[in-house]
Structures are given as structure tokens and as C-alpha cells.
Chains A and B, each alone.
Chain A
Amino acid sequence: MEIKAAQVDYIYRNESRKVFATLVRLLGDFDLAEEAMHDAFAVAVEHWADHGVPNNPVAWLVSTARFKAVDTIRRRRRFNDLQGEIAGRVAEIEAANDSLAEQDIKDDRLRLIFTCCHPAIDPKVQVPLTLREVCGMTTEEIAHAFLIPPTTMAQRIVRGKTKIRDARVPYSIPSLTELPDRLAPVLSVIYLIFNEGYSASSGQSLTRTELSDEAIRLARLLLDLSPHPEVAGLLALMLLHESRRKARSTADGDLILLEDQDRSLWDQTLIAEGKDLVERSLRTRRIGKYTIQAAISAVHADAKQPAQTDWRQIVAFYDVLLRIEPSPVVELNRAVAVAMCEGAESGLSIVDQILASGELQSYYLAHSARGEFLRRLNRHGESLAAFEQALSLANQEPEQRFLRNKIDSIRSLEQQEHNR
């Protein structure tokens, strides 16, 4: 009996989101699906103890949950005639009873991702909704990870669920012609989830790591179901970033720049998988922004020492990236790579052009890069001014510490020169 309960527990942890996704499609209602799923698991605990775990527990649970949902709808209907419209679906649900295909269950999670990331839903709502409904994280966990009060987070999730239900956002995988447009918000949500877990060093580090793991899990699921080159590119990009997690900050949470990282700490298994995906994606010749960024990351991963980095290759990838998605941030990153090939003077002139065009003036990294180029050119006074401007624009505690250290070291350089 106890062993059976443990088995139900195990199935709950690993399969409940599949059951839920299928129920959402069949019932067209998040709350009804959630309730029916829990009812089905409650039945499973007793039933499986007497009869053993069925061969296909997911199908059994979906089936049982559907009957439970039909009961719930009938009960609600008696109390409230407004629910009549939902009751009209009872027949549909019963008709679907026999046609539960394995492939459909697999696709249901993908349908749910596309629903939660539908462009008709506010991007602020897409991220928590995906974490809640597709990944099964609790509202409290999501609120905690994003440093937002749980009530605010709960409101956003309810808003998303209400929109999906009342505006009838469909549960469907977009057709091939729509796919590129519809894939973009899905990939961006997954990357946002990853970055929230990767870049910010504030907040609870444990929950943050979970966010990155969830993003990688979602990308794997998406790749399994839709082998679009950009899905492979995004997964590769995240794996390559993730491979450096141990090397990118000190025990105190201070940032360590790529060039100063202990490269023996990089996770070679993740790097190998990431590089394999990048190569596969590049071969399709339908190259998108995630694949290119992953390719750049892979060039860094190839260098055993910073000095061995193939900066010409990186500049070439940035040129492609600028053609696909022109942006001043990409231009800035390209400037850093150009400076590594041709010297700080070239990098400085690109950054000055960007700033002169009115872009990135309040972006701390632009001023920080400028300060670094000036430092390398031994123009210490101007370098100090640039780093101080960067410091006034940086928001995160570790970034500010990093910039203060830079400023201190340039000041002491200046002092030494003065004394000489």
C-alpha cells in the first residue's frame, strides 16, 4: 500500500503536467482541468493500491479525470445555469474518451506552451503563465523567483487564464506557415525565463537555478516536438551559457568576466551538446539570431585560454547577427570583438559612433566598454570619467561592485604615474 502511494507520488511529479495539458485541451478550462486532475490522482491512490498501476498511467489518469470533470460540470450546472454552455461540452468529452492517442498527449504540452505564449497575451503575463501551467511551478515559487509579491503574481496568472478562457485562445500547434511568427514569442519567453535564472545575482540563488533548468527543459521539449533550427539554436545558447555557471561568479556573488574565468570549471558535457546543436542548426542555412549567438558562445568555448579566442570568427558572426537583427546592443558587442582584433582604438571609434547617434546613452555597458578601451589606450582620465558614468547607470549590486573595483584600480594606476 505504501509502495503504491510512493509510485503515485512519482507519477505525479513526472507526468502530472502531461495529464494537465491534455485535460486543458479536452476541457477548455484551466481551473476545471486542475481540479479534475487532482480528483483523478486521489482516485488513483486507492484504485491502484487494489488493482496495481495500469500499463499506461497517463491515459488512465486522463480518462478518470474526464469522468470527474463531467461530474463536476453536471453538479455545477444544477447550481448555476450560466454553466450550461460548458455542459454542452460533456458530449464532446465523452466522445473523445476512446480516441486518446499517445502522440496527442505528447503534443498537448506543446499546444499549451503556444497558448500561454500567444501574442494576444501580455508578455508580462506569458512568462509566469508558462511557468505555472506548463512547468507546474507554484505561484509562490514564481513570485519568489521574480521578486514580485505573490498577490501581484497571482493576479497576472488569473488575468492570463481568464483571457484564454473568455476570448477562447485556441489550444493548437500553429500551422507551418504561421509557425515562424508564433515561435518567436515562445522562444523569447523561454530565453527570458533562462536569463532571469542566469543573469540576476540577487534573490534566492536556488530558485534562480531552477528557472534556468526549467527553461532548458522547455527548450528540449520544444525541440523534441518541433525541430526548428532556431529551437536548436536557443537550446544550444542556453547550454553554452549554463556551462560557465560555476566559473562566472565568486563565492561572494561577484561577477567574473569571461576573460578572467577559470576555464577548467566550464562544464564540457554541456559545451559538447551545445556545439553539436549549433553545428546542426548552422547546416540548415536557415540561421536565426539564437543560432548565431550560440555560435559566438561556441567560439569562446573552443578557446582553452582567452588569448586563443578566434576574434575574427566572432566579428564575422556579429556581422551576420547585425544583418538578421540590427540593434545598437549588438553593435556594441561587435565593437568589443573588433577591439580584440584590431586594437582598442577601433573599438572606441565604434562605441563613440553609437553614442553620437543618440543610442545606448543610458546603457551602463556602453560606458563601461568605452572606459575599458580608454584604459587600454592609457587615457586614464577619460577612462575614469566613462567608468564613473557607467557606475551611475548600473542597477545591480554586483555590477556596481565590479565598476567600483575598476575605478579604484585606475585611480591607483594614475597615482603610480603621478609618483614616478
Chain B
Amino acid sequence: MMKYMLLVYGDENCWNEDERKECMLESMTIADELTRQGKLIAAEPLHSVTTATSIRVRSGQTQMTDGPFAETTEQLGGYYVIDVDHLDEAIEIASRLPPAKLGTIEIRPLFPKPDAAG
């Protein structure tokens, strides 16, 4: 099996309240289905990037900024971690997520940890 993170990017301001609720319900249905199939490890929506805090430690000093790592037109809005056979299965799941229609889903394979293997 292979673990992938699906990073959900989209313009935070392009949803109205009804659409957001609709998207949330649909996403939860998909998450439930994946849980039943044993393919879901974690999935959470995120608060808006206006609530983000970015931290850098340089020469022992902690620097803090109010805001996301980078200002972009599409923001990270949520994530899934899934456990499936191969990339095609991850692509199939990502294509079904409602935000794929408005934003972008980035699929990233998880790097296997040394002690977790073999």
C-alpha cells in the first residue's frame, strides 16, 4: 500500500455559504466511504489563511508573521491522507472531491519513514 496526501487548494472567497455547506457534506460522504474501505487515514478542513501564523527560527530567534507562508491566489484549505494501491487510485479519489471542480488538488506521495518500513 502507498500513502498519499491530497492537498486541497482553492480561492477561499469563491464559495458562498450554501456552496461551502454543500461541499462539506459531499466531502464528508466521500470520507465516510473511504473510511469504510480502510483507505482513509486522516482528513480535515482548515480555517481561512487569515488565521495563519508562520514561524521561522533563525540563529535561535523565533520570528513570527501573521499570515500564510506565501501569498497566493489559491490557498490550502484542507487535506486528506489516504492509503491506496497506486497513483491512479489516488487520482481517482482526488477527482471526486468537490473542490477539484473549482480549485486544485495536489497529490503528494508520503515519504516512508525508515523505522516504519520492513
Which residues on A sit within 8 Å (CB–CB) of B91? Answer: 120
CB distance from B100 to the nearest CB of A (A): 15
| Least CB separation from B112: chain A residue | A85
Q: How many A-B residue pairs have CB under 8 A?
A: 36
Q: In the bound complex, what is the Cα–Cα distance between A81 and B107 (angstroms)?
A: 27
Which residues on A sit within 8 Å (CB–CB) of B87? Answer: 118, 120, 167-170
Which residues on A sit within 8 Å (CB–CB) of B2? Answer: 168
Which residues on B sit within 8 Å (CB–CB) of A83? Answer: 118
Within 8 A of A (CB), among B84-118: 85-88, 91, 107, 109, 112, 114, 117-118
Which residues on B sit within 8 Å (CB–CB) of A176? Answer: none
Q: In the bound complex, what is the Cα–Cα distance between A166 and B118 (angstroms)?
A: 17
User: In the complex, which of the residues A81, A82, A166, A168 has the most CB atoms of chain B within 10 Å of its own CB atom?
Assistant: A168
Chain A interface size range: 10 to 19
| Least CB separation from B114: chain A residue | A82
B contact patch SS: mixed
Q: Tell me, yes or no, whether A410 is within 8 Å of chain B by CB.
A: no
| Least CB separation from A170: chain B residue | B86
Q: Tell me, yes or no, whether A358 is within 8 Å of chain B by CB.
A: no
Say yes or no: A81-B86 contact (C-beta < 8 A), given A166-B109, A167-B109: no
Which residues on A sit within 8 Å (CB–CB) of B114? Answer: 81-82, 84
Q: Tell me, yes or no, whether A93 is within 8 Å of chain B by CB.
A: no
CB distance from A80 to the nearest CB of B (A): 9
CB distance from B22 to the nearest CB of A (A): 28
CB distance from B10 to the nearest CB of A (A): 20
Q: In the bound complex, what is the Cα–Cα distance between A87 and B117 (angstroms)?
A: 10
CB distance from B108 to the nearest CB of A (A): 8
| Least CB separation from B109: chain A residue | A167
Q: Which of A77, A87, A88, A169 contacts B86 (CB 8 A)?
A: A169
Which residues on B sit within 8 Å (CB–CB) of A87? Answer: 118
Q: In the bound complex, what is the Cα–Cα distance between A168 and B108 (angstroms)?
A: 11
Q: In the bound complex, what is the Cα–Cα distance between A167 and B6 (angstroms)?
A: 12
| Least CB separation from A77: chain B residue | B118
Contact present for B109 and A81 (CB under 8 Å): no
Q: Tell me, yes or no, whether A349 is within 8 Å of chain B by CB.
A: no
CB distance from B56 to the nearest CB of A (A): 28
Q: In the bound complex, what is the Cα–Cα distance between A88 and B91 (angstroms)?
A: 25
Within 8 A of A (CB), among B75-89: 85-88
| Least CB separation from A85: chain B residue | B117
Q: Which of A81, A169, A172 contacts B118 (CB 8 A)?
A: A81
CB distance from A184 to the nearest CB of B (A): 16
Within 8 A of A (CB), among B40-67: none
Which residues on B sit within 8 Å (CB–CB) of A81? Answer: 114, 117-118
Q: In the bound complex, what is the Cα–Cα distance between A84 and B116 (angstroms)?
A: 9
Q: Which of A77, A84, A168, A172 contacts B109 (CB 8 A)?
A: A168
Contact present for B118 and A170 (CB under 8 Å): no
Which residues on A sit within 8 Å (CB–CB) of B86? Answer: 168-170
Q: In the bound complex, what is the Cα–Cα distance between A88 and B116 (angstroms)?
A: 12
Within 8 A of B (CB), among A69-126: 77, 81-85, 87-88, 118, 120
CB distance from B118 to the nearest CB of A (A): 2
Say yes or no: A170-B85 contact (C-beta < 8 A), given A81-B118, A87-B118, A120-B91: yes
| Least CB separation from B115: chain A residue | A81
Within 8 A of B (CB), among A251-289: none
Within 8 A of B (CB), among A2-61: none
Say yes or no: A82-B117 contact (C-beta < 8 A), given A167-B109, A168-B109: yes
Which residues on B sit within 8 Å (CB–CB) of A169? Answer: 86-88
Contact present for B88 and A85 (CB under 8 Å): no
Q: In the bound complex, what is the Cα–Cα distance between A82 and B114 (angstroms)?
A: 5
Contact present for B118 and A85 (CB under 8 Å): yes
Which residues on A sit within 8 Å (CB–CB) of B117? Answer: 81-82, 84-85, 88
Which residues on A sit within 8 Å (CB–CB) of B118? Answer: 77, 81, 83-85, 87-88
User: In the complex, which of the residues A77, A81, A82, A167 has the most CB atoms of chain B within 10 Å of its own CB atom?
Assistant: A167
Which residues on B sit within 8 Å (CB–CB) of A120? Answer: 87, 91
CB distance from B6 to the nearest CB of A (A): 13
Q: In the bound complex, what is the Cα–Cα distance between A118 and B86 (angstroms)?
A: 13
CB distance from B94 to the nearest CB of A (A): 11
Which residues on B sit within 8 Å (CB–CB) of A170? Answer: 85-88
CB distance from B24 to the nearest CB of A (A): 28
Within 8 A of A (CB), among B5-55: none
Which residues on B sit within 8 Å (CB–CB) of A118? Answer: 87
| Least CB separation from B3: chain A residue | A168
- 5 A-B residue pairs with Cβ-Cβ distance under 8 Å, sorted by A, are A85-B117, A88-B118, A168-B85, A170-B86, A172-B88
Q: Could you tell me which A residues sit within 8 Å of B by CB distance?
A: 77, 81-85, 87-88, 118, 120, 166-170, 172
Closest 3 CB pairs of A and B: A84-B118, A170-B86, A85-B117
* Other A-B pairs, 9, CB within 8 Å; known A88-B117, A170-B88: A81-B114, A88-B118, A166-B109, A167-B107, A168-B2, A168-B85, A168-B109, A169-B87, A172-B88
